[in-house]
Amino acid sequence: MTRKLYTIFGVIFGILIVLVGLLNKKNFDANTIVINDSILNNFYLANRNLEDPAFIHFNNLSEIQIALVRDDYIKREVLKREALNWGLDKVDPIISSRLAQLGEQFLLNNLPNEDLTKETLNSFYNENKHFYIDDAKVTFSHIFFRNNNKKIINDLTYYVQTQNEQFFNSNLLNKISVFPYQKNYAQRSESFIRGHFGEKTTKEIFALEVSSKWQGPIQSPYGIHIIKLTSVLEAKQKSFNEVSDLVLKRFIDERRKENLKLELAKKISSYQIIDD
């Protein structure tokens, strides 16, 4: 009899637990997002950059970094749920990241179109002229010496001053090194040269005078160079008419990003965020 009584009480207790769980679940509607450390940790691990060698474990993240992960999670959840509300799961697998992308794209596609005037685009162009500059370009030959000891520098300085080919062949020819990039520097942009020679060396190259003579020596992060500068073209500001298509594209992209951010903020504000 006692065992039977315990069994009955156990069944009743179990039913009560299930009912409480169901009632609690009903409190969390489709516009409720529950967040806790476990959820954020799993989200952080699932979306980390696998190519980044400096991986930081979730427990070692700063409060600011955790807040950024939290914001990203909320954004992903809202976009995923909005995508589901729009029935986008019918045309794509229900994968969180993909649904979020679809949700974002759907929001973008449904943003109102703006009536653009030439005055608006012209004003945008004037505010962003730095995006529409033709880089300065340079053409030169160079001879590279990895070993930059005092004797080589002195010999190069003497050669540049005298342009004595016989001296070069006797004292420097067998000391030439292969430059790591081995590129032809004809009509190369300033940014291209900077990527190969570094900021300081690039400025020195562009400061040289066009000449048929060898100039230098110039130090780079790799060693010593002598330069024969053939031509330099100054940077050129492109006019609005030359880049009107690019201006229009950038204007639309930036405006859509701003509108998307505002629209997404509205969507997020309609959700109840619960930190569990």
In one-letter notation, the amino acid at residue 58 is F
CA–CA distances in Å: residue 212 to residues 17, 208, 253:
91, 12, 47
Q: Which residue ranges make up each domain of the chain?
A: 30-49+57-131+244-276, 133-236
Instruction: Name the least confident of 45-49, 186-190, 254-258.
Output: 45-49
Burial of 233 (C-beta count, 10 Å sphere; 0-12/13-18/19+): middle
Instruction: Name the least confident of 35-49, 89-103, 225-239, 259-273.
Output: 89-103
pTM value is 0.49
Cβ proximity of 155 and 238 under 8 Å = no
Instruction: Name the least confident of 56-60, 81-85, 228-232.
Output: 81-85
pLDDT at 6 over 90: no
Q: What pLDDT band is residue 21 in, cutting at 50, 70 and 90?
A: very low
CATH of 133-236, one of 3.10.50.40, 3.90.1300.10, 1.20.1730.10, 3.40.50.1970: 3.10.50.40
